[in-house]
Structure 1
Amino acid sequence: MPGVNAIKLLTGNSHPELAQMVADRLGIAVTPCVCKKFADQSIDVRIGASVRDEDVFVLQTGNSPYVDPNDSLMELLIILSACKTASARRITAVIPSFPYSRHDKKDKSRAPITAKLVANMITVAGADHVITMDLHASQIQGFFDIPVDNLTSEPSVARWIRTRVHNYSDAIIVSPDAGGAKRATSLADLLGIDFALINRNRKREQNKRIRAAQREQAGLSTQSSFSDLQSGLTTPNPSNLLVEKAALQKSRSASGGSSSGSSGDSGIGGGGGNGNGGGDQRRIASQDQLRSVNDQLDDLSLHQQKTSADETPKLGHAHAHGLANGRLEPAFSSRDSSPSAVKQTLANGVLVDERGHWMTIDENGHRVVSGGLKQPESSHPQISLQSQDLSMSTSSLGSVNMGEGAADDGEETKMEILVGDVRGKTAILIDDMVDTGRTLALAAKTLKDAGAKEVYAHISHGLLSGKATDLLAMLDLERLVVTNTIPSLEKARASKGKLEIMDVSAVIAESIRRTHNGESISLLFQEDAALLF
């Protein structure tokens, strides 16, 4: 191989075995490099050979049982920086398992995009090129301003399936979630077999229903659009209570389609007739929804506790009157809407008075929607539901549309097969990463319940954190195959033969050789790439 002697391969403490295997395939020696810690836990790096004007490849995986992942990242950055200051001609970071790859997007407020931060750090440290394998999200390649080669283990996995799975042509490739659908379909097309897709549905049904009933009974909104509101107020929705369409239609038909708000009705939008058609429609819709929820509560026979005399003034006249009669009433009546009662503007036109009640007012000064203060359960025992009142059916409370995050406990996770038929077939689960193993366990159980004959799993990066190895030993799984991008030898010994390690050092070595010689590496992504190794 021309020019191979000019390659300098360095590695830290994260995966020395893989580095040695790659060096053996290239026919070179690993350049001595010592990474150690001082007493204050700071990292010191010493490179034991000259790298001046050399083509340097630094192999360091992002996850390892040998070192902390943050220490592994710091070792990589320090080695890159040391090679840069030592006048290396070109520096390539070879990262089989990219660190923080799951933090690739801002999926909620104030969430960091840590993968982008890591990309910036690697570039600033001195890397001219990055080689990695099976990124969790392919868009991470766009986080870099330098060339990135995202290798794939797909040809090697296809070869394993052809040689190790009996009658593989009757097998089916399965993705355990929607995010891996593209990976599963690609491998299925390569093998010429079918694929299936599993949907993972996290539900916290019981606690959502309990809290929904509490909020309904207190006359509060069932959703809040301000996640960081610390004052305890619930923010308004287009209507105070969200009910299903069928219930709304039922209440309208029961009321005879009447569109006039009588004086006996404490309508949410009740502000007197002003000729405003839009205001009337909103007022009628709010009243209809309120009647619908009252009908549902009557049908459920929820036993309301009597309002004590000393607590009634704290809830407001109209609100307390509604609770005392076992029905939901608006937190305000129309006579409470004087501007003098409003003390401050909360946000988006939401006005809050001195008692903590909120409201929104239209352009004519009439209230559109309003609500009350969200009180702790211990503050008002008369509006808290007792345990015997919560024995209502699932279908009865199914009409309330709960928002995300309404309850964070009591998690019920279910999986169902959305696409494909696995009955009587050998199912092969494909994913890029397994951490705790819980998703894998649920997917394997779902496939077995659906009639799969055997279940295999192919995972690119086997993190197997915590007691995942113990869980693997108990699974109804024929074999879990992981690559050696992460050291897993000890876990394979403890898995009772269910964990198999697939070597990808040949793929990494070939990519290093082709990069050094200026050859194309696109051949490594083709169908017959496994024949090269």
Structure 2
Amino acid sequence: MRRTCIFGGRSHPELTDFICEKLGRKPDKVELRKFANGETSVEIKTSVRDQDVFIVQSGSNKTNDDVMELLIMIAACKGGSSKSVTAIMPYFPYSRQSKKKSHRGAITARMIANLMHVAGVNHVITIDLHASQMQGFFKCPVDNLVAEPLLARWIRSTVQNWREGVVVSKNPGGTKRVTSLADALKLSFGIVTTDRRRPNMGQSMYNSLETTITLVGNVRRRPVFIVDDIIDKAGSWIAAAETVVKRGGATKVYCMATHGLFGGDCLREMDECEEIDAIVVTNAFPIPEEKRKGIRKLVILDVSTLLAESIRRNHHGESISQLFMHHD
């Protein structure tokens, strides 16, 4: 692609390399440093004058640093007379704070969108926003891509009896996401509702939450795909898995999400849960090597092809509708 620059922040350099590899090029040079007092310094080492600039910066375990780094990179490129600046944010930071949770709370996701507008962003590409209405926070176009076709392809190619499966939501708020995948695969769907109050992880999630869990849908002697957008804490996932197996009689359980945040010991706890057969996520959010070590059930799907194609189509002014479609 002519007249383009692709820069990567420090949040997910591996994904930046994968995207550039798919586009047949190398990332352009940028120097990212930190001063002794913790301030972020950015210096663009390539001319961006009249170029379409794409900055790859996902959220990571250092969210605040990632956000500041992205804002400074956007401002630096605008100051360098770039034609346009597109932020590639596979996981959008603060996306779970898209509404007031208390009378004096802040809508932090909207504030991040405003900061990006002030920095000078022209376009945002992300994957599976926690709430799709967040696109309205921005004053520029937002492409909210979906990982659903990736997950569907994995199910078709890996699970032998997938046609007998049931797609399950572990909370009422995720039903739209679940019914979309179920419709694409022509499967039935169900819902597991659980009380938010969790005991400590030392107790069996099934026994301690049995009175507060409701399973809607028939999963007996069927594989179950529990789907959500984010895996952060293990509690609700383990509770849902134990419910569909012990109460519903499911044969296998696959926990699937776009963003594997895996806070604390979440990944290890899910890996040790006997009722869970596989944990399927994408590499939209970086999972540290030390966290993956010794984990047997983790499957990571690559979103770099999806993002690379969205960059190519945006640069050439082509439609991205094809990226939302399911291909066998």
Which letter does structure 2 place at the counterpart of 1:56?
V
Cα deviations across residues 464-486 of structure 1 (Å, max 9, x unaligned)? 01111221221121110110011
Match of 1:13 among 10, 15, 20: 10
Aligned to 1:507: 306
| Deviation of 1:41 (Å) | 0.5
Letter of the 1:457 partner, please give it: C
Partner in structure 2 of residue 341 of structure 1:
none
User: 1:202/1:71 Cα in 2 relative to 1: closer, same or farther (>3 Å)?
Assistant: closer
Distance 2:27 2:166 in 1: 41
Map of 1:416 onto structure 2: 213
Determine which of 229, 234, 248 is the counterpart of 1:437.
Answer: 234
1:104 and 2:101 equivalent? Answer: no
- Are 1:45 and 2:42 an aligned pair? yes
1:83 matched to which residue of 2? 77
Q: Could you tell me how far 1:436 is from its partner in structure 2?
A: 2.0
Select the residue among 67, 70, 79 that pairs with 1:73: 67
- Are the equivalent residues in 1 in contact too, given 2:7–2:30 (CA < 8 A)? yes
* Corresponding position of 2:322: 523
Q: Corresponding residue for 1:123?
A: 117
What amino acid maps onto 1:527 in structure 2? H
1:261 aligned partner: none
Aligned to 1:469: 267
Match of 1:487 among 254, 279, 286: 286
Q: CA deviation at 1:499?
A: 0.8
Q: Quote the residue 1:307 is aligned against.
A: none
2:23 equivalent in structure 1: 26
With structure 2 as the length reference, what TM-score do the two structures score? 0.93
- Verify the 8 A CA contact 2:130 2:229 in the aligned structure 1: yes
For residues 170-319 of structure 1, what are the structure 2 equivalents within 5 Å? 170-202=164-196
* Aligned with residue 135 of structure 2, among 128, 134, 141: 141
Larger Rg: 1
- Give yes or no for contact 1:507–1:524 (8 Å, CA) kept in 2: yes
Question: Aligned residue for 1:154?
Answer: 148
Q: What stretches of structure 2 of length at least 5 have no aligned partner?
A: 199-207
Measured after TM superposition, the shift of residue 33 of structure 1 is 1.1
* Paired residues for 1:388-407 under 5 Å: none
Q: Is the 8 A contact 1:469 1:494 kept in 2?
A: no
Report the CA distance between 1:46 and its aligned residue.
Answer: 1.2
Query: How big is each residue's C-alpha offset from its partner over 1:105-149, in whole Å with a ceiling of 9 and x where there is no partner?
Result: 113211111000011011111100000001000011011111000
1:177 CA displacement: 0.6
1:58 matched to 2:55: yes
Report the CA distance between 1:199 and its aligned residue: 0.7
Residues 80 and 203 of structure 1, relative CA distance in 2, 3 Å threshold: closer
Q: Secondary structure at the match of 2:219?
A: coil
Name the SS of the counterpart of 1:5 in structure 2: coil
The alpha-carbon deviation at position 34 of structure 1 amounts to: 1.7
Distance in 1, matches of 2:176 and 2:19, equals 29
What amino acid sits opposite 1:94 in the alignment?
I
1:227 corresponding residue in structure 2:
none
* One-letter code aligned to 1:448: V
> Offset of 1:448 from its aligned partner?
1.3
> Root-mean-square deviation (CA), in Å?
1.5
Q: Alpha carbons of 1:11 and 1:498: their partners in 2 closer, same or farther (altered >3 Å)?
A: same
Change (3 A) 1:421 1:492: farther
CA distance in 1, matches of 2:197, 2:111: 33
**Which one-letter code corresponds to 1:519 in the other structure?**
E
Deviation, structure 1 residue 5: 2.5
Distance in 2 separating the partners of 1:483 and 1:21: 13
Partner AA of 1:474 in structure 2? E
Conserved 8 A contact 1:472-1:495: no
Q: Distance in 1 between matches of 2:109 and 2:179?
A: 26
Structure 2 counterpart of 1:454:
252
Could you tell me how far apart the structure 1 residues matched to 2:308 and 2:197 are? 45
Aligned to 1:326: none
CA deviations on 1:51-82 (whole Å, 9 max, x unpaired) are 11000000000124xxx110011000000000
- Quote the Cα distance in structure 2 between the aligned partners of 1:138 and 1:107: 18
Secondary structure, counterpart of 1:427 in structure 2:
strand
**Contact persistence 1:196–1:417 (CA under 8 A):** no
| TM-score computed with the length of structure 1 as normaliser | 0.58
What are the within-5 Å matches in structure 2 for residues 355-394 of structure 1? none
Partner Cα separation in structure 1 for residue 261 and residue 307 of structure 2: 19
> What's the secondary structure of 1:201's corresponding residue?
coil
Question: Sequence identity, in percent?
Answer: 45
Count of residue pairs the alignment pairs up? 316
Cα deviation for residue 200 of structure 1 reads 1.5
**Structure 2: how far apart are the matches of 1:72 and 1:152?**
22
Residue deviations 1:35-62 (CA, integer Å, cap 9, x gap): 1110011000111111110000000001
| Cα drift, residue 494 of structure 1 | 2.3
2-structure distance, mates of 1:428, 1:183: 12
CA distance in 2 between partners of 1:171 and 1:156 (Å):
17
Q: Which runs of 5+ in 1 are unaligned?
A: 205-411
SS of equivalent residue, structure 2 residue 195: strand
Contact 1:91 1:127 in 2 (8 A): yes
Alpha carbons of 1:31 and 1:147: their partners in 2 closer, same or farther (altered >3 Å)? Answer: same
Q: Which runs of 4+ in 1 moved over 3 A?
A: 412-415
Letter in 2 for 1:13: R
Q: What's the counterpart of residue 223 of structure 2?
A: 426
Whole-angstrom distance in 2 between the partners of 1:50 and 1:511: 23
